[in-house]
Amino acid sequence: MKHLNPKEASEFLHQSPTAVFIDVRSEMEFLFVGHPVGAIMIPWNDGPNWDVNPDFIAHVKKATSVDRPVVLICRSGNRSREAGHALEQAGFTKVYNVLHGFEGDLSDDHRRNVLNGWRFEGLPWEQC
């Protein structure tokens, strides 16, 4: 798996029209916090028990193929890294993780969107 900062990921997506951009956060995060423009939602884990989605790999296979680039994003880059490892184990060969995710790392005062991340970098996003 390759790791890209948000600006690198955005550039990669613009230069790779066959790439699939997947937001692995929960449905509530995707809808109410917002998400990158062009990302599709396939949760890695979701409520109410926050178990790993047993259908994650199958849903990704429906959205793409194992030989197309897959770019993963979550809140901070941790869930997307875990999901990326699972995709690699399932045979995906072009997996990219967005470092710092959509909301970025926590600051010293426990806030997000103030140090790094997709939104911090001013990259395109929307809220439903």
CATH number at residue 15: 3.40.250.10
Half-sphere exposure of 94 (CA within 13 A, CB side): 14
Range of the domain at 122: 2-126
* Model confidence at 31: pLDDT above 90: yes
CA gap 104, 112 in Å, rounded: 6
Q: Whole-prediction pTM value?
A: 0.96
How many domains is the chain partitioned into structurally?
Answer: 1
Distance of alpha carbon 121 from alpha carbon 108, whole angstroms = 19
Determine contact, residues 24/44, Cβ cutoff 8 Å. Answer: yes
Interatomic CA distance for residues 2 and 108, integer angstroms: 28
> What's the average model confidence in pLDDT over 39-68?
94
pLDDT tens across 68-86, in order? 999 999 999 999 999 999 9
78-89 vs 56-63: helix axis angle to the nearest 10?
A: 80
